[in-house]
A and B are shown apart, each in its own frame.
Chain A
Amino acid sequence: MTSSPTAGPRVGLFATCLMNLFRPNVGFSAVKLLEDAGCSVEVPASQTCCGQPGYNSGDYDAARALARQVIEAFEHFDYVVGPSGSCMATIRHDYPALFADDPQWLPRAEALSRKSFELLSFLADVRGAAVTVDARYAGTATYHDSCSGLRGLGIKGQPRALLGEVDGLKLKEMEDAEVCCGFGGTFCVKYPEISEKMVDDKVRNILATGADTLLGGDLGCLMNIAGRLKRIHAPVKVFHIAEVLAGFADGAGLADAPKESR
């Protein structure tokens, strides 16, 4: 299981905070998908967070400090890929904006921006020809479009096209798939009642499809929705789409009791 260093592009995997802490399986799924798509994958140990919590809280200095760290850790790769539209939109869109007045860092931020991709858009749009999905999933899934990926990076068709190649999986669209689930980073703990109302609307639309599985591309949203689904004892499994595409969705879903072994 070693990466071939010669063949394809060198990809640095951006290990998002939530993935690293809560769902390592998503990271291993991303690595498998990238390697299957002909890439060699490395995971720099000098990475932490993309800086979005600082940026969205108005602390631009903190965001810049984190951005510089990410740029230094990843700029020598051919591509930077992460399993989150939210973090990757920060790198793609916000880094150049953060350094707009900094002639030293702006070119580096822009260069990194150009080669940074969310996992699904990288697989479908950049490595399209090299990607074959070899996975089975027995179930009916519905897909939540996370806002940053959808509106920031134009991710809409890619996950559906990739899921179409998964044996046994049926996709059933929900009403308002494009409406925010109420996560919003720190929003969900700063305004918990509003967030709860929003996630309840989302849960209602999920349940109305009759799907047994919820999929999405951002762990923040998925943890929020899974947390609410489990709180009301709704029997819907929640996975990151990468887990299904990689064939690694045979264990417990988010917030489900662990199975004996995988």
Chain B
Amino acid sequence: MQIRSDEFKERSVFAIHDANLQTALGRARYGFVGKRAQQVADLPEFEQLREEAKNLKNHVLDNLDHYLARYEQAVVASGGQVHWARDAEEARKIILGICKRVGAKTVTKGKSMVSEEIDLNEALIDNGMEVVETDLGEYIIQLAHEPPSHIIAPAVHKTKDQVSDLFEAAHGGPRKTQVPELVDEARRVLRDKYFRADVGITGGNFLVAETGSSIIVTNEGNGDLTQTLAKVHIVTSGIERVVPTLDDATLFLRLLARSATGQETETYTTISTGPRRADDLDGPEEYHVVLVDNGRSKMLAGRFRDMLRCIRCGACMNHCPVYGAVGGHAYGWVYPGPMGSVLTPLIKGLDAAYDLPNACTLNGRCQSVCPVKIPLPELLRELRHLQHQQNITPVMQKRALGIWRWVATRPKLYHALEQLAARALSGIARRGRIRRLPLAGGWTDSRDLPAPTGRTFLELWQGKRGQR
């Protein structure tokens, strides 16, 4: 999708005034947060698991070449194929090549954020294929021609009424209004697509180096039907998603569902290894894995390596008060919230997403819930530092910081100016507050400014104690 992160400010203001969006966000936020908290309370070793998961991911990243090579060997040994894609364009070409070779007309898709990252759907549709998203949330936003607004709940911004309207327009009436009716209708429509699909594309929550398996977790079972009923199964995944063994994968599975949706485990956890074997009851004839780099090896080499631990649970955005205020679309690209504010500038360029690292209060709640302990606020600050160094930071802000530094390193001048401000502000205050202040509209448009009392603390202290 076209990146629109440079419109963050406008889009966030729009989002704040969108009543439907605010209703949907309010409900979702409290649901996920409360359920996760309950799961964490019920699992005494949760904190220990986070630490183990962090360490294991770090070990994998330190030895990524080794584990990826082992993974590829194991995939090939099980009859599958691994394709390496340096960037989005290469990934599209590879997948399009496979689809064309097998003469694909219908392509079903399980949820895959990497496929969003590489703009896969447009490429397939442009080449005459029918693309059907089978995750209910993805299906809803496909009907609405919108990108996902959350990495695990892509249609979280939609209300039930909006879904009813979309389904009525797409499937014909009568208009359904109850959730079970809507789900049944989607299931009926999708069932037919699964059987007609030539190619099924899924993501990969984890890739297991030991066995060459890909693991997906879903709550709807749509991923299973996508990958077993089509003639060809293509897994799209980032290179960082490999784990050494099946046993290691279970560590992450214990953390993933609890962090993401506040479930003990997702309804379906499916492990796929290679294409259908002679005595298998079902399964695809071909099994392909497309491993996408798209900026990841650059992250691996630099100071943003910690970000590659991400297992895409969405806990950071569920707990982010900024995401909670503006929703996912304001962020303007595939990944929203704190993790997206780190990834988007790194993948799409620092200047393409100036606001994302800045639109954060550094309150740290995201880091405190991250199952792999990514120091998200530090990474966001580090991006601000890069923006500052590369002169992407607005000139006025840099100039203001320069003046502030000049004054603040001159204590006598600084204190004199504070004294002046204390007097001036208390002079224009009425009843202890200032309602409007020139050049401070950012504050006073929505808040009163508490007024100083006229003298600074240092001034009063020196008067009282005669002390330096």
Contacts and interface: CB of A to CB of B under 8 A. Distances in A.
Interface in A170-199: 178-180, 182-185, 187-199
Interface stretch (B58-66, B101-109, B116-124, B405-413): B405-413
Interface string A131-153: 00000000000000001100110
A69 to B, nearest CB: 6
A185 B361 CA distance: 7
Contacts of B383: 58
B149 to A, nearest CB: 16
B67 to A, nearest CB: 30
A227 B432 CA distance: 11
Interface stretch (A42-50, A110-118, A121-129, A208-216): A42-50
A7 interface: no
B325 A22 contact: no
Contacts of A53: 401, 404
Contacts of B39: none
B404 A54 contact: yes
Interface in B360-397: 360-365, 367-368, 381, 383-389, 393, 397
Interface stretch (B134-142, B331-339, B455-463): B455-463
A184 B361 contact: yes
A188 B450 contact: no
Contacts, number: 211
Interface stretch (B40-48, B223-231, B259-267, B441-449): B441-449
B408 A49 contact: yes
A223 interface: yes
Among B9, B321, B455, the most chain A Cβ lie within 10 Å of the Cβ of B321
A177 to B, nearest CB: 12
B322 interface: yes
Contact of A197 (B325, B393, B458, B468): B325
A89 B86 CA distance: 41
B443 A187 contact: no
A166 to B, nearest CB: 23
Interface string A195-226: 11111010000000000000000000001101
Nearest to B358: A190
Given A59-B388, A228-B446, A178 B457 contact: no
A99 interface: no
A228 to B, nearest CB: 5
B433 interface: yes
A183 B442 CA distance: 12
Interface stretch (B164-172, B211-219, B271-279, B414-422): B414-422
B325 A198 contact: yes
B202 interface: no
Among A17, A148, A193, A257, the most chain B Cβ lie within 10 Å of the Cβ of A193
Interface in A1-49: 1-2, 15, 17, 19-28, 42-49
Given A231-B446, A255-B433, A255-B451, A60 B385 contact: yes
A226 B450 contact: yes
B408 A21 contact: no
Among A17, A183, A184, A224, the most chain B Cβ lie within 10 Å of the Cβ of A184
Nearest to A252: B432
Contacts of A196: 445-447
Contact of B12 (A51, A69, A194): A194
Contacts of A22: 450-452
B299 interface: no
Contacts of B456: 20-21, 24
B447 A24 contact: no
B363 A189 contact: no
Nearest to B455: A24
Nearest to A61: B405
Given A21-B422, A22-B452, A256-B432, A192 B443 contact: yes
Given A185-B362, A230-B448, 9 more contacts: A15-B461, A20-B457, A23-B457, A27-B457, A46-B411, A151-B363, A179-B365, A190-B358, A191-B322
8 closest cross-chain pairs (CB), A and B: A184-B361, A189-B442, A227-B447, A58-B384, A58-B388, A24-B457, A147-B363, A255-B450
